[in-house]
Chains A and B, each alone.
Chain A
Amino acid sequence: DAGVIQSPRHEVTEMGQEVTLRCKPISGHNSLFWYRQTMMRGLELLIYFNNNVPIDDSGMPEDRFSAKMPNASFSTLKIQPSEPRDSAVYFCASSFRRRNTIYFGEGSWLTVV
């Protein structure tokens, strides 16, 4: 079975540009998570969805960040405008809620210069 699929794997962009990260969860999973990993802050939960509905977005750093899940097989995390401090690895993860085990994608490495 395919795992969680993220794109792009690597992105380098200039400050002020819009960045869109994409995620396809594991088929049949009904929970989706966006995490960010930096050296300073470790792994942080940004937002998570259950059945395509955002449940907790308290980790979203500011209004420049937005996330959507239009259907069960696709989610986006958008940063507009991007700033150098947004440079991080962004992970998408999914789970079947009753089983409480979360599987991660390979991450999207974002560098904002």
Chain B
Amino acid sequence: AQTVTQSQPEMSVQEAETVTLSCTYDTSESDYYLFWYKQPPSRQMILVIRQEAYKQQNATENRFSVNFQKAAKSFSLKISDSQLGDAAMYFCAYSAGTASKLTFGTGTRLQVTL
């Protein structure tokens, strides 16, 4: 069974600084997708970024980028120039290529301080 592990329950970053959230996963599949979702206090699940396992290039979306290390099964999220609005729970998630259901990690709560 696939598992997703987020080892940092909480992280804190100062506004305008950079923070990296960690995620590791376990799978025997060769075709899969990895995601980061943001959940603000409103509880809505917002897709932040998506990575296809077959792509070597790391995905980027504006201030958000990932460091995808396939051999190490690691998928970290880097947030640059952190803003107060980035404060939220961040969930790492995995989806196998043949079935698109998501397996989530336990989440990392990110605080952004002035």
Neighbour of A100 across the interface among B45, B46, B97, B107, CB < 8 A = B97
Neighbour of A107 across the interface among B43, B47, B50, B95, CB < 8 A = B43
Chain B contact-residue range equals: 20 to 34
Q: Is B56 an interface residue (CB 8 A)?
A: no
In the complex, what distance in Å separates the CA atom of A31 from the CA atom of B50? 18
Task: Give the A-B pair count, Cβ closer than 8 A.
Answer: 46
Chain A contact-residue range equals: 20 to 34
Closest chain A residue to B52, Cβ basis = A100
Residues A43 and B95 in contact, CB atoms below 8 Å apart: no
With A43-B91, A91-B45 known as contacts, the answer to whether A101 contacts B50 (CB < 8 A) is: yes
Residues B100 and A106 in contact, CB atoms below 8 Å apart: no
Min CB distance B95 to A, Å, is 6
Chain A residues within 8 Å of B46, by CB: 104
With A42-B106, A43-B91, A100-B95 known as contacts, the answer to whether A106 contacts B43 (CB < 8 A) is: yes
| Beyond A100-B97, A104-B44, 18 extra complex contacts between A and B, CB < 8 Å | A42-B107, A43-B91, A45-B101, A56-B99, A91-B45, A93-B45, A95-B100, A97-B100, A100-B95, A101-B33, A102-B35, A102-B47, A102-B100, A104-B37, A104-B46, A106-B42, A107-B43, A107-B44
Can you give 21 contacting A-B residue pairs, CB < 8 Å?
Answer: A31-B100, A33-B102, A42-B107, A43-B91, A45-B101, A45-B102, A48-B101, A93-B45, A100-B95, A100-B97, A101-B35, A101-B47, A101-B50, A102-B100, A104-B37, A104-B44, A104-B45, A107-B43, A107-B44, A107-B45, A109-B43
Measured CB to CB, the residues of A under 8 A from B are 31, 33, 37, 42-43, 45, 48, 55-56, 89, 91, 93, 95, 97, 100-104, 106-107, 109
